[in-house]
Amino acid sequence: MANPKPTPKPTVLRGKAAVDAYEKSISPKGMASASAAAKKALEEKYPGMFVPGTRKTAGLNRAR
């Protein structure tokens, strides 16, 4: 009885290749809503840190 040939393990994508594959797997509308949700979550966690126009602390230079 001959030993069966081992099957190769599937390759795991990492880095830019993983991002590219993920972007191809979802629609542009899905990418836009995911990006908006991520920005909203960051703004809730760190108010004014990432979106300069939303700072509420007095004495900071605001974008005009």
Per-residue model confidence (pLDDT) at position 4: 80
**Rounded to two decimals, what is the model's pTM?**
0.41
Do residues 50 and 41 make contact, with C-beta atoms less than 8 angstroms apart?
no
The tens digit of pLDDT for each residue in 20-63 reads: 878 777 778 777 887 888 888 888 888 777 655 655 656 555 55
